[in-house]
Amino acid sequence: MKRFEGYGVLITAAGSGIGAATAHRLAGEGARVLVTDIDEAAAGKVAASIREQGGTAREFACDVGDRAAVEAAVAYAVETFGRLDVLVNNACACHPDAPLFEDEDDEVWATDLDITLTGAYRCARAALPHLVASGRGAIVNIGSVNGIQDFGNHAYSAAKAGLASLTRTLAGHAGPRGVRVNLIAPGTVRTAAWAGRDEQLDEMRKLYPLGRVGEPADIAAAVAFLASSDAEWVTGAVLPVDGGTTAVSSGFKIMRD
């Protein structure tokens, strides 16, 4: 019996990277996955790839900054799969810092917080009644080590720290209703955001106790654990999946600067 046989799953920003790897992982374990992304074509490619491998997946265009779009995605998942058991909040926005903090732009701050934190809030709010109804509901938020330690990116880091706080408060609210809420805090993961920067990634590898940067599949494996019944007594947790970087001192600030 596959762990997610019969499950309905919705994943945001699943058109590439961590979201796409998670969609493949959960579908490979029997889930019916709604691959959502602001880029519908990218979502469609991931869903098609899952179907080619014998899995069940559909795509849906969703901007987590738009409440109506989020509610439409959740409704489509429930209508298509007959239920919703797992929500994976993966969407985020991350803009580079200004050289001086006092030069930071209000719009950049607002965008990073809106997509990264408020977007997850919108998705959880829309999904929660259906997760309660499933009797085995789980929310897995994709946070970041930036929400734990200083790795730069003021707005993004504040949003990820806020997402960890929301994870705890929502876990307390939703636990008695049968829904678990947890967060994964990845370190550096080799995604499209690092395209063309292989030399920098190779240097960063040296800063990780386990000797490499992460791969999307590393995070997908952690999502699969937290979303499954294997973690049925785990809620409100922040799980670093970071090659050990938050456990030890590192030279990240030096490299970043």
**Residue-wise pLDDT tens digits, 2-18:** 999 999 999 999 999 99
Please name the helix (run of DSSP H) or strand (run of DSSP E) that holds residue 232, with its range, or none.
none
Is the pLDDT score of 101 beyond 60?
A: yes
Look up 7 and say whether it is catalytic. no
pLDDT for the residue 249: 62
pLDDT for the residue 207: 85
Which two structure tokens, joined as six digits, stand for 113? Answer: 């917080």
Is the pLDDT score of 200 beyond 90?
A: no
pLDDT for the residue 203: 86
Is the pLDDT score of 255 beyond 70?
A: no
Give the mean pLDDT of 227-248.
96
Please report which confidence band the pLDDT of residue 230 belongs to, taking 50, 70 and 90 as the band edges: very high
Cβ–Cβ < 8 Å for 127, 84: yes
CATH of 8-256, one of 3.30.2450.30, 1.10.3720.10, 3.40.50.720, 3.10.129.10: 3.40.50.720
Give the mean pLDDT of 96-106.
93
| Amino acid at the residue 57 | A
pLDDT for the residue 180: 98
pLDDT for the residue 235: 98
What percent of the chain has pLDDT above 90?
A: 88
CA–CA gap between residue 92 and residue 187 (Å, rounded): 15
Distance of CA 228 to the CA centre of its chain: 16
Is the pLDDT score of 223 beyond 80?
A: yes
Task: Spot the catalytic one: 7, 76, 121, 156.
Answer: 156
Cβ–Cβ < 8 Å for 16, 192: yes
Is the pLDDT score of 252 beyond 80?
A: no
16-42: per-residue pLDDT in tens? 999 999 999 999 999 999 999 999 999
Is the pLDDT score of 254 beyond 80?
A: no
Give the mean pLDDT of 138-144.
98
Domain extents in the chain:
8-256
Mean pLDDT for all residues in the chain: 94
